[in-house]
Each structure stands twice: as C-alpha cells, then as structure tokens.
Chain A
Amino acid sequence: MRVDQQVIADMIAPCSRVLDVGSGDGSLIGHLFRTRACDAQGIELSMEAVTHSVAHGLPVIQGDADHDLIHYPNDSFDYVVLQRTLQAVERPREVLRQMLRIGEHAIVSFPNFGHWRLRLQLLYTGRMPMTSVWATPWHETPNIHPCTIKDFFALCEEDGYVVEHWTTVNERGRRAPWYYSPRLANLCGEQALFLLRRKT
C-alpha cells in the first residue's frame, strides 16, 4: 500500500462504513477491512482492477465517480474516499457534492497544479508542464480539471465544506514538512490530501 493510502487509512475511524471511489487494486479497502474492521466497498473504472479486487474477496463494483455516486442514498457511508482522481472526473464540483451527500466525511487527494516546478516550466518554456506527476501530454491527459491547493480551499469555502484536516505528500506518498502553511504547501506540495465534512 502506498504511504499516502496509509495516511488516508489513519484518518478513518475503526468500524466505519467506507466507500473508496477509484479503488484500484482494492488495497485500501482490503486494509480497512482487515486492520480496522471497516465495512469498506469500492467503485473502480477498470474492469481488470475490479475483477482482481472481487477475486480477492473485496466488494467492488465497476463504475465511475461521475455516474455512479448518484445511486447511493444519503448518509450511506461515514467516509467517501476519492484518491488522485478529482482532476480526471467530468464534473469535480458535483462529484464532491455527491461524496458529501452520501458520506458524512469526504477524503480527497489530488495532484497540486500549483507546484513550483510546474509554474517554472510554464514560465520558462511556455509549454504545458510535464513532470513525473503530470506525465502525459496535454492532448492525451485524462486530467481535464487540474487545480491548485489554493483553488481547492476556495471551492470548499464556496460550497460550505469544513476542512477538518489537510496535508501534502510527495509523489512517493511521504508527508511533507510544509503542511502547516497553505501558501508554502501550494508551492511545494506534490499531492494534496483533504478530510472534509459538511457544515452542520
């Protein structure tokens, strides 16, 4: 399991109901079931990954964040997790709204487009930046809605979500030291990780 998944797992209370949107090979939900006694389910786009997960006894359905969250009733989960996917969905704002409709908490991670390396590349080369995090050319990328940490704070403010906790991790998932300052994090953080809650 990646280190950032461990960070996510640590945010989740034992015995919770969890929906992992974009559950990949199912490692997070498997971990949550085995070590935290969570009732964890997954949605995954890739049928190969779904088959792999179900073949390992994990409850996963084939589907995607844009089209399948609407089918879950209100408050059916304690946590809804969306890992490294927000920038690739059709309607990120609606997906967030759905996550916080069906879950009490949302845990969202996304690559930060405000990172200094991206800013520098755009400034100096005048071309769309390419880094290890943003590794596909603009015409091929599935990441159609990139945003910065600052943008994300603004959206949470606008839509009335409480940021209970946030941090940044680097590409390998290690937690970065600048996670107390949003400005510094927006410049130096590669991946952002947010724990949100609806305003009561």
Chain B
Amino acid sequence: MVHQKISLQEGLDLQCGERVAPLDIAYQTYGTLSPARDNAILICHALTGDQYVADPHPFTGKPGWWARMVGSGLPIDTDRFFVICPNVLGGCMGSTGPLSHKPDSDELWGRDFPIITMHDIVAAQVKLMDHLGIGRLFAVIGASMGGMQVLTWASDYPDRVFAAMPIATSAFQSAQNIAFNEVSRQAIFADPDWHDGNYRQFDTIPARGLGVARMMAHITYLSEEALTRKFGRRVRNASQPSAIGNMPSVFFGDMFEVESYLRHQGSTFVKRFDANAYLSITRAMDYFDLAAEYDGDLTIPFKGSPTRFCVISFSSDWLFPTSQSRHLVRALNRSGANVSFVEIESDRGHDAFLLEEPDFDRTMRGFLNGAAEHAGLTQGGIAHAR
C-alpha cells in the first residue's frame, strides 16, 4: 500500500527529548489551493481515523469517514476550500509511527516508538503546512482526538489558525477516558500474540486483544438509546456464522445482535489498524491536558487569541460530554476569544459527529461561511477569484 506522503530527512524533535527521522507524513488533499493560499482547511482525524476523509478506504473499500461532510457542495465545500487531512504522527497509515523503521535500521520501531504528545502530532502537521507553503490555515477542524489537535493548533500557533472548530472534544482527557483507554491497552497486552509488542517478528498480530479493545471502545462511542434503537434485545439466528472465526459464536445459546455487531466491529478494525499505533496514540490522548502546562489555567493558552472558535458538542455524548465543551467555552470567554458554541441535540452518542445530523451540517456550513466573510474570502471561492 503506497500512501501519498512527504518524507522530511531532518525529522522531528519530540517533547520527550527523542527524535524521529526521517519524518513521514501521509496526507490526502481535496479541492484547489487558491493563488492567495488563503482557503486551506486542515482536518484532524480522531483516534482510529486516518487521512482518507473523503476517499474510499484503501483497505476496507468503505467510503471515507467524513465523505458526507467533505466534498463538492457539502458543508466543507471542496469547490471553495482546499482541504488537507494528514495521518497523525504515531499512526499506521503511512505517517511515521510504530510501523516505521528505526533510523538507519531495518528494524521496526514497534513498541520502542517514543512517547508522543498532541504537541508532537501538531508539530508534525506544521511541517507539512510549511512544505505545502501554507502560512495561515483558514480553518482547523477536528472531532474527538481531532478536536484536541485543533485546540493544540490554536494554542501553539494562534497566528496560523484563522478559525478553529473543536467538535465533541475536551481541553483535557478525563479520568474516565483514561480508564477506558487503559482497559483497551490491557486487552492488547493480555493477548498471547502480543509478544511484548514484537508481534511482527512472529509474523502475527494481537487480533483478539485489539479486537476486544475496539469492541469496548466502540460502546463508548454510542449511547444507550442508540444501542436500544439499533439492536434492542433481538437475538441473531444461530445458524449464521459468527463474525470472528476464533470466537465461540454461541456460548450460552443464542447470540444477541449487539454482540454480533461488536464482534464485527472488532474483526474489521484489526485488519486496518496496528496495535502499537493504538497504544501510542491512546497514550498521547491520555497525556493531553492543555491547562496543566499553565498551572491549571486554561485561559492562558488562548489569551488574546485572534482565532474564531466554534465549539460543538452532542447532547448524548458521554465520552466527551457537553459539560467539558462548556468548560472550554467559558475558558475561551475568560481569555477574550471570539467563540460560538452549539450543543447539537442527538441521541446517537459520541459517534454523532460522523453521522447524518442536519443541525450539525448547518452549523458547520454557516460557521465556515461567516468566518470566510470575516477573513475576506470571496463568496464563490477560488473559481470566482481567478
């Protein structure tokens, strides 16, 4: 699999003091960069997302994870904006991560991959922007862990972000979310195929552990209402084969549909995601706490920020609840930033940001249009600017 990428020999100095070199950043782009280079939107993906935001996924063949949001005539309109989506540092879709080779070695990083933070992930993206010749981004947009990157961009590089849209996210990883990540990690460690992280040398992957990690995490992306509506207590016909071959299909008789669904989620996930990358990125999320670097005062990283913010939460999201978005909004108010804040009514939990939510689409489109008006971008975008 060949991903579109840049490879920077100078590498990247990480917060932990280590250095990764060369630095590869795989990315996809959509639309056309305007002659003034002022219409670029950076999309930051979530924990298990990747750069294929609007293209079919090269491994699963499924539509891009935000194909309903990014494209011609869609809320993030590629007729008007130049959209860039990079794979995060530490990821497994072409950017430098545990699947990359150690410097001057045939050996893979594997579990020796250095500890990374949101600052490192964003610093790598900054290098990509420099390479593409984009000084100031018109907007940086991301949900969940993508939102953490948005906030890091706005705090670390305020002059390079005209508008920021942190969605279904928080300025710090909560204890509950660290706890869920820890269960995911322990599931991976408990898999005999884990081999202390050196599973590639044994020509295997910890598929069961990573599958269970995904199943557990997937529950946190939904809501009780969504699960009830989608599956209820329905049982699956016992004659149908189980989704994962090496798991008993029926343990105590019939299998509930929700069980079958989760197994399917687990089994498809392990085909496209690397366990060490999962460990590396979940750790980066856990370390994320913007205020901690400023004695707990979240206003300081945004003081005097020129960025226009639009914070969005979803009413049934219990992984990144509205209270955490409101906490962020209040800090932004205290810092004097220009903020919009909308809680979208939805019963579909954290995953709502990926799904059809008309209010969300209208908010996205309207905020971008309003910001474009303030930025002095022409209404018709580059087609008219020419």
Which A residues fall within an 8 A CB radius of B? Answer: 39, 41, 47, 50-51, 53-63, 68, 71-73, 76
Contact = CB atoms under 8 A, between A and B. Distances in A.
A57 B333 contact: no
B365 interface: yes
Interface string B298-322: 0000000000101100000000000
Given A54-B366, A59-B370, 17 more contacts: A47-B343, A50-B341, A51-B359, A54-B310, A55-B362, A55-B363, A55-B365, A57-B369, A57-B371, A57-B373, A60-B341, A62-B343, A63-B329, A63-B341, A68-B330, A73-B334, A73-B335
Contacts of A72: 333-334, 336
Nearest to B334: A71
B334 A60 contact: no
B334 A57 contact: no
Contacts of A60: 340-341
Nearest to A30: B370
B367 A57 contact: yes
Contacts of B310: 54
B162 to A, nearest CB: 13
B342 interface: yes
A57 to B, nearest CB: 2
Interface string B350-384: 00000000010011011101110100000000000
Interface of B: 308, 310-311, 329-330, 333-336, 338-345, 359, 362-363, 365-367, 369-371, 373
Nearest to B312: A54
Given A58-B370, A59-B308, A59-B370, A51 B342 contact: yes
Contacts of B362: 51, 55
A51 B364 CA distance: 10
A53 B362 CA distance: 10
Contacts of A59: 308, 338-340, 370
Contacts of B339: 41, 59, 61
A114 to B, nearest CB: 35
Contacts of A54: 310, 340, 342, 363, 366-367, 370
Nearest to B335: A73
Contacts of B330: 68, 71
Contact of B341 (A39, A55, A58, A62): A62
A7 B109 CA distance: 67
Contacts of A71: 330, 333-334
A185 to B, nearest CB: 35
B363 A41 contact: no
A57 B75 CA distance: 13
A11 B311 CA distance: 31
B370 A61 contact: no
Given A47-B343, A61-B333, A56 B370 contact: yes
- B333, B338, B339, B371 — most chain A CB neighbours (10 Å): B333
Contact of B370 (A39, A57, A68): A57
Contacts of A76: 336
7 contacts: A54-B342, A56-B366, A61-B329, A62-B342, A62-B343, A72-B336, A76-B336
Contacts of B311: 61
A56 B359 CA distance: 12
A58 B330 CA distance: 18
A58 B311 CA distance: 13
The interface centre, meaning the residue of B310, B330, B343 with most chain A CB atoms within 10 A of its CB, is B330
Nearest to A76: B336
Contacts of A61: 311, 329, 333, 339-341
Given A51-B342, A51-B344, A57 B366 contact: yes
A61 B311 CA distance: 9
A153 to B, nearest CB: 31
B367 A68 contact: no
Nearest to B331: A71
A56 B341 CA distance: 13
A175 B341 CA distance: 34
Contacts of B336: 72-73, 76
A176 to B, nearest CB: 36
A62 B367 CA distance: 15
A99 to B, nearest CB: 14
Contacts of B334: 71-73
B198 to A, nearest CB: 49
Contacts of B370: 54, 56-59
Nearest to A41: B338
